[in-house]
Structure 1
Amino acid sequence: MKFDLHTHHDRCGHAQDKIRDYIEAAIAGGLQAIGISDHSPYFGSPEDHAQPLIAMAKSEFPRYIEEVLQLKKEYEGKIDVLLGVESDYFPEHVDVYRQEYAKYPFDYIIGSVHLSGGVSIFNRNRWKNLNDMQKIEHKEEYYRLIAESARSGMFNILGHIDAMKGFYPAFSDIPTPAVNETLKVIGESGVAIEINTSGKTKDVGGWYPSHAMLEQALHYGVEVTFGSDAHIPSRVGDDWEDVSKTLKEIGFKHWVYFKNKQKQVVPL
């Protein structure tokens, strides 16, 4: 069974085309399930549309849900359309986000850390003029937030858990036990991590997380899933076969997706 749980569309302000275009691309690519998971609004902000080039407006969120549910019905029998959302994790706003998500029948929620220490994880300038100890501190703060998001119980999947390397490839070589400690927490929490193939669109190339992290994830019993993180329809299912092959080589026997918040096991 072929699936992709991480896709975006034009509501977030930095992706192209409509939800239907991603569903049609999934059908053309031979997928049996396609997850729609656009960026959640900034529910912690008093503004309706706090970040128009990053996430949808709060007022748009119910329309997003309604459209996905309509398309789910329309495409029934052709492809399984799954209702998801990619949620930021802000510890100070956990209750607000939890209350908003409880209103809707999500198949799954992806929890992603995009801001660490108040700075975007993709901001390459954050690394300038830092000494080795400061770089370790930045990496450990990032993984502290990821571990906390795993423990929160809000998420079924954690998104791109080493994406801080996207525009700073040397990130992977910063030494700290925090990575393994976080994978242990994730394994104990029962939350899955995605193999996210959008790293190939960034300076680092390749996937999130690294093969070395996937080997450690297997050691700690972490479940894995697949997400292209497509921001254009042509990337739906991107590298799916290669990811499947790599996971088998590492030693994984299955991967998972989620429907009605229930884990569905797919043999590799």
Structure 2
Amino acid sequence: MKFDLHTHHERCGHAQDTIRDYIEAAIAAGLQVIGISDHSPYFGSSEDRAQPAIAMAKSEFPRYIEEVLHLKQAYAGKINVLLGVESDYFPEHVEIYKQEYAKYPFDYIIGSVHLSGGVSIFNRNRWKKLNEAEHVEHKEEYYRLIADSARSGMFQILGHIDAMKGFYPAFSDIATPKVDETLKIIGESSVAIEINTSGKTKDVGGWYPSHEILERALHYGVEVTFGSDAHVPSRVADDWEEVQKTLKEIGFHHWVYFENKQKQIVAL
């Protein structure tokens, strides 16, 4: 069974085309399951759209849900369309996010850390003029947030857990036990991590997370899933077969997706 749980569309302001376009691309790619998971609104502000070109407006969120559920019915028998969302993790706003998500019948929620220390994880300038100890501090703060997101109970999946390397490949070489500590917490929290193939669109190339982290994830009993993080329909299921092959080589026997927030196991 082929599936892809991480896709975006035009509502977020930095992806192209419609939800229907991604569903059609999934069918063309031979998928049986396609998850729609655009960026949630920023619920920590009173503004309707506090983060234009990053996340959809709060007023668009019910329409997003309605459209996905309509297309789920329209494509029944052709492909299983799942209702998801990619949610930022903001510790200070956990309760309001939980309240908003409780209103809707999500199949799964992807929790992603995009801001660490108040700065985008993709901001390569954060690394300039830092000494070795400060490099470690930045990496450890990022993984502290990921560990907290795993323990929050908000998410079924954690998104791109080493994406901070996206525009700073040397991130992977910063040594800290915090990565293993975080993987242990993820395993204990029964939250899956995605193999996200959008790293190939950034300076680092390749996937999130690294093969090394996937090997450690297996050691800690962490479940894995697949997400292309497609922002254009042509990237739906990108590298799916290569990821499947790599997971087998590492030693995984299955991966998972979520329907009605229930884990569905798929043999590799």
> TM class by shorter-chain length?
over 0.9
Give the TM-score normalised by the residue count of structure 1.
Answer: 1.00
1:116 alignment counterpart? 116
Letter aligned with residue 115 of structure 1? L
Q: How does 1:26-37 map to 2 (within 5 A)?
A: 26-37=26-37
Equivalent-residue separation in structure 1 for 2:14 and 2:33 (angstroms):
24
**Per-residue deviation, 1:46:** 1.2
Counterpart-to-counterpart distance in 2, 1:228 and 1:68 = 18
Residue 68 (str. 1) matches residue 68 (str. 2): yes
Number of matched residues? 268
Q: Distance in 2 between matches of 1:47 and 1:136?
A: 35
Task: Give secondary structure in 1 for the equivalent of 2:108.
Answer: coil
* Aligned residue number for residue 47 of structure 2: 47
Q: Are 2:246 and 1:221 aligned? A: no
Provide the residue aligned with 2:5 in structure 1.
5
| 1:187 aligned partner | 187
Q: What is the alpha-carbon distance in structure 2 between the residues aligned to residue 155 and residue 56 of structure 1? A: 19
Residue 264 in structure 1 maps to residue 253 in structure 2 = no
* Residue equivalent to 2:128: 128
Q: Which amino acid aligns with 1:53?
A: A
Residue 49 of structure 1 aligns to which amino acid in structure 2? R
Q: Secondary structure of the equivalent of 1:84?
A: strand
Once residues 40 and 145 of structure 2 are traced to their aligned partners in structure 1, the CA distance between those partners, rounded to angstroms, is 18
- Show the counterpart of 2:198: 198
Using the TM superposition, give the Cα deviation of residue 123 of structure 1 relative to its aligned residue in structure 2, in angstroms.
0.4
Tell me how far 1:68 sits from its aligned partner: 0.1
User: Match of 1:99?
Assistant: 99
- Structure 1 residues 45-54 or 206-215, which shifts more? 45-54
- Let me know the Cα RMSD of the aligned residues: 0.2
Shift of residue 107, structure 1, vs aligned partner = 0.2
Q: Which string of whole-angstrom CA distances, capped at 9 and with x for unpartnered residues, describes residues 217-253 of structure 1?
A: 0000000000000000000000000000000000000
Matches within 5 A, 1:241-256: 241-256=241-256
Distance 2:132 2:205 in 1: 24
Aligned-residue identity in percent: 85
| 1:79 aligns to 2:90 (yes or no) | no
- 1:155-194 mapped onto 2 (5 Å cutoff): 155-194=155-194
Secondary structure of residue in 2 paired with 1:207? coil
Structure 1 match to 2:139 = 139
Deviations 1:144-179 (A, max 9, x none): 000000000000000000000000000000010000
Report the residue type matching 2:86 in the other structure: E
Structure 2 segments unaligned to the other structure (5+ residues): none
Letter of the structure 2 residue corresponding to residue 230 of structure 1: A
Normalised by the length of structure 2, the TM-score is: 1.00
User: Helix, strand or coil: the match of 1:83?
Assistant: strand
Moved over 2 A (4+): none
Secondary structure of 1:109's counterpart equals strand
**Deviation per residue, 1:180-215 (Å, 9 max, x gap):** 000000000000000000000000000000000000
Structure 1 residue ranges without an equivalent (≥5): none
